[in-house]
Amino acid sequence: MNVYKMFSNKIKGYLGCRMIKSRHLHFMLYKPVGMLSQLHSNSPRQTRKKRFLSELYDFPKGIMPVGRLDEKSEGLLLLTTDGKLSDTINQSGIEKEYYAQLDGEITNDAIEHLQNGIEIGFEGKRYTTKPCAVQNLDGAPALPEPDPILRIGRHRPTSWISITLTEGKFRQVRKMTAASGFPTLRLVRIRIGSITLEDMVSAEIRPLRSLL
């Protein structure tokens, strides 16, 4: 069995009952590093090998990710067959919390700049981010070991922050921490609204009864 399909047997029974009770299905998964937040390629021509969510499980027809995580980021990703619900969540300003491991020991001044809004590049223009919650974490949080792809060196000091946004520009957290002088080395989304990553491991999939 493919290692990324190891959780499939745990949810087959749930799907059988769920399909009888409701026409929509919802999932949460721990998106691994190196995988795109889409089911399949949008382009018939690919210059290099890409990995897609369909590698993890034979998802039902009509499933779609709610929001995105960039290829090098990991953590909580929601999927649903309910397109209207997906749009509602994406447009509602729902909180999304991330743990970010930064290159260097972040300062209080940098945290304040992140909290109050910081200028980043977006679609070729300058954009000032909305105020957000940022907290300096006391040591590394309890997470699965980092993927070797990240090549996080041990010769330089790093620090961890929790950052909670109500918006979601492309690569926003990475752009924000880089603009503050502390580039992100590892980025893990741990919460969307009231749904948390809990004790999930990379590539794990769990069914949800609802997304709201």
Contact 147, 71 (CB under 8 A): no
3-state secondary structure of 100: strand
Contact 134, 161 (CB under 8 A): yes
DSSP string, 110-152: HHHHHHH--EEEETTEEEEPPP-EEEE-SS--S-PPPPGGG--
Question: Under the phi-then-psi rule, with left for phi > 0, alpha for psi from -120 to 50, and beta for the rest, what region is 108?
Answer: alpha
- Give the C-alpha separation, 1 to 13, whole Å: 19
CATH class of 3-92+198-208: alpha beta
Superfamily of domain 96-192: Alpha-L RNA-binding motif (3.30.70.1560)
Examine the pLDDT at 10 and tell me if it is beyond 60: no
Domains 3-92+198-208 and 96-192 share a fold: yes
Q: pLDDT (tens digit, 9 = 90+) per residue, 107-125?
A: 999 999 999 999 999 888 9
Q: What percent of the chain has pLDDT over 70?
A: 87
**Exposed, middle or buried by CB within 10 Å (0-12, 13-18, 19+), for 148?**
exposed
Contact 30, 13 (CB under 8 A): no
138: tokens are 């006391």
Examine the pLDDT at 127 and tell me if it is beyond 50: yes
What pTM was estimated for this model as a whole?
0.87
Q: Whole-number mean pLDDT of the chain?
A: 88
For the chain, the C-alpha Rg in angstroms (whole number) is 18
- Give the C-alpha separation, 38 to 79, whole Å: 10
Q: Cβ atoms within 10 A of the Cβ of 84, count?
A: 9
- Give the C-alpha separation, 162 to 89, whole Å: 21
Residues that are catalytic: 70
Examine the pLDDT at 46 and tell me if it is beyond 60: no
Q: Where are the domains of the chain?
A: 3-92+198-208, 96-192
Examine the pLDDT at 94 and tell me if it is beyond 80: yes
Q: What percent of the chain has pLDDT over 90?
A: 70
User: Which is nearest to 28 in space by CA: 92, 75, 93?
Assistant: 75
